[in-house]
Amino acid sequence: MKTLFLCLVSIFSLTSSIQAQLSGTVKDHQGHPLPYASIYSKQSTLGTSSNDKGYFSLDLPAGKDDLIIQYIGYETKVIAVDITDKPHSIGDIQLKEQSVNLSEITVTANAEDPAYEIIRKVMEKRRYYLEQINSYHCRSYIKNKIRMEDMPESFMGQSTGDLGGLLDSIGRGILYLSETESELYYQRPGKFKEILISSRVSGNDQGFGFNKASDLDFSLYETHTTFGRPILSPVAPGAFGYYDYRLIGSFPDQDGHLVYKIALIPKRGEDPVYQGHLYVAGEYWCISQAELQLNAAAMKQPGLDNIQIKQVNIKIEQPDYWKTISQNIEFQGGLLGFRISGSFAAVFSSFELDPELPDNFFGNDVFLAQAEALTRDSLYWSNIRPIPLTKEEKLDYLKKD
């Protein structure tokens, strides 16, 4: 009996460890790819983002699951999947633009926009969501890319050429490309420890990417986030003095709960505040998604013209534990005739709340690298990379490596 039990345990362990790659392409109703869509398993916190061309791949354990596909401004789609031990493509996934409904909202007699009352409720829960999780551990992946978009033919009397083969014939191309995979640990208040598992920099086999998961795992419940200078959160104390709010409408999420879409409008052009939209989950009064922009006047950062931020938060554990699973930051700028663009794409997955850690785990070492972090080969990366490389990125690695 004991032998039979051990055999069954071994079989179940083996079955649960079987994973297969699920892939597809996220597009809009006109067939255009949707970059950096969020794709995750409903049964776990395993997830990924689509790449610049809308393509994604995700390793999931064998068994039945529901795949959730989200893109800000579009209806969420849920697809039932049956994962076997073989790779499977689900082809093109078309998302419809999100229609919003104003019929659920009652306009008050004093004609204040209903968005203000919704934001007040989020502000009341702000401290709760900041402090509800004492500690957590998760897996993170970050891809950082910087491209040259345009440049002068000469600089300080010297021909710029193609920058040593980095650029194409019209002066465009990838200047920098890196990927990092880390284990991220957090303990309240504000303690982070990051262990780098692997790092890859195009053209530099001894290079550490300057991607830190702790820098991209920021919360809008904090009073400020720093982009050049501290930017005031739209749900921070005192935000009503800097923001106007307008309710665009509401729509049901995949579970039938109302989500409110709220426009953020700066009161003054040069204040350090965001523009864009917040999506508030009405049952929880928390931020489920954010689509934000910062212009040069708000940041006052020389060389940066604008930044766009897309953040997706999901409930990782009952009853109301929410965390960011994807954070995408794109930027454009220029100086002295040079024009660049760039992006940070971050995926957070496999969350574990209140992990058992030694008492002295959070010490002076906040960033450590495993000895083999720089030795991972391309096969390793192709197996663990949650955001597939685009054709341009593949060619950049081939050319520079």
pLDDT in tens, 383-396: 889 899 999 999 99
Gap between the Cα atoms of 349 and 327, Å rounded: 12
Gap between the Cα atoms of 65 and 81, Å rounded: 5
> Which are the contacts of 340, defined by CB distance < 8 A and separation ≥ 6?
146, 147, 148, 149, 175, 332, 333, 334
Q: In this predicted structure, what is the pLDDT of residue 16?
A: 37
Q: Which band of pLDDT confidence, cut at 50, 70 and 90, is reported for residue 104?
A: low
Is 20 a residue whose pLDDT tops 90? Answer: no
Gap between the Cα atoms of 253 and 72, Å rounded: 12
In DSSP terms, which residues pair with 289 in a beta bridge? 279, 312
Judge residue 314's burial from the number of C-beta atoms within 10 Å of its C-beta, 0-12 exposed, 13-18 middle, 19 or more buried: buried
Q: In this predicted structure, what is the pLDDT of residue 210?
A: 66
Q: In this predicted structure, what is the pLDDT of residue 169?
A: 67
| Omega cis (within 30) before 152 | no
Is 292 a residue whose pLDDT tops 70? Answer: yes
Q: Which two tokens stand for residue 203?
A: 């053209």
Task: Please state the rounded mean pLDDT for residues 34-48.
Answer: 83
* pLDDT per residue as tens digits for the range 187-237: 988 889 999 999 999 988 776 666 788 788 889 999 999 988 999 999 999
- What is the C-alpha R_g of the chain? 23
Beta strands in 16-87 (DSSP E): 19-28, 38-41, 47-49, 55-61, 63-70, 77-83
Is 333 a residue whose pLDDT tops 80? Answer: yes
Q: In this predicted structure, what is the pLDDT of residue 1?
A: 34
Q: In this predicted structure, what is the pLDDT of residue 107?
A: 55
Gap between the Cα atoms of 73 and 35, Å rounded: 13
Is 103 a residue whose pLDDT tops 60? Answer: no
CA-nearest of 114, 176, 116 to 143 is 176
- Of 63-67, 154-158, 332-336, give the range with the top mean pLDDT: 332-336
The mean pLDDT value of the chain amounts to 86
Task: Please state the rounded mean pLDDT for residues 304-322.
Answer: 93
Is 2 a residue whose pLDDT tops 60? Answer: no
Look up the pTM and report it.
0.85
Is 17 a residue whose pLDDT tops 80? Answer: no
Is 241 a residue whose pLDDT tops 50? Answer: yes
Q: Which two tokens stand for residue 309?
A: 């931020």
| Cβ atoms within 10 Å of 298's Cβ, excluding its own | 23
Query: For residues 41 and 17, which has the higher predicted lDDT (pLDDT)?
Result: 41
Q: In this predicted structure, what is the pLDDT of residue 256?
A: 81
Is 105 a residue whose pLDDT tops 60? Answer: no
Q: In this predicted structure, what is the pLDDT of residue 185?
A: 95
Query: For residues 16 and 133, which has the higher predicted lDDT (pLDDT)?
Result: 133
Is 6 a residue whose pLDDT tops 80? Answer: no
Is 253 a residue whose pLDDT tops 50? Answer: yes
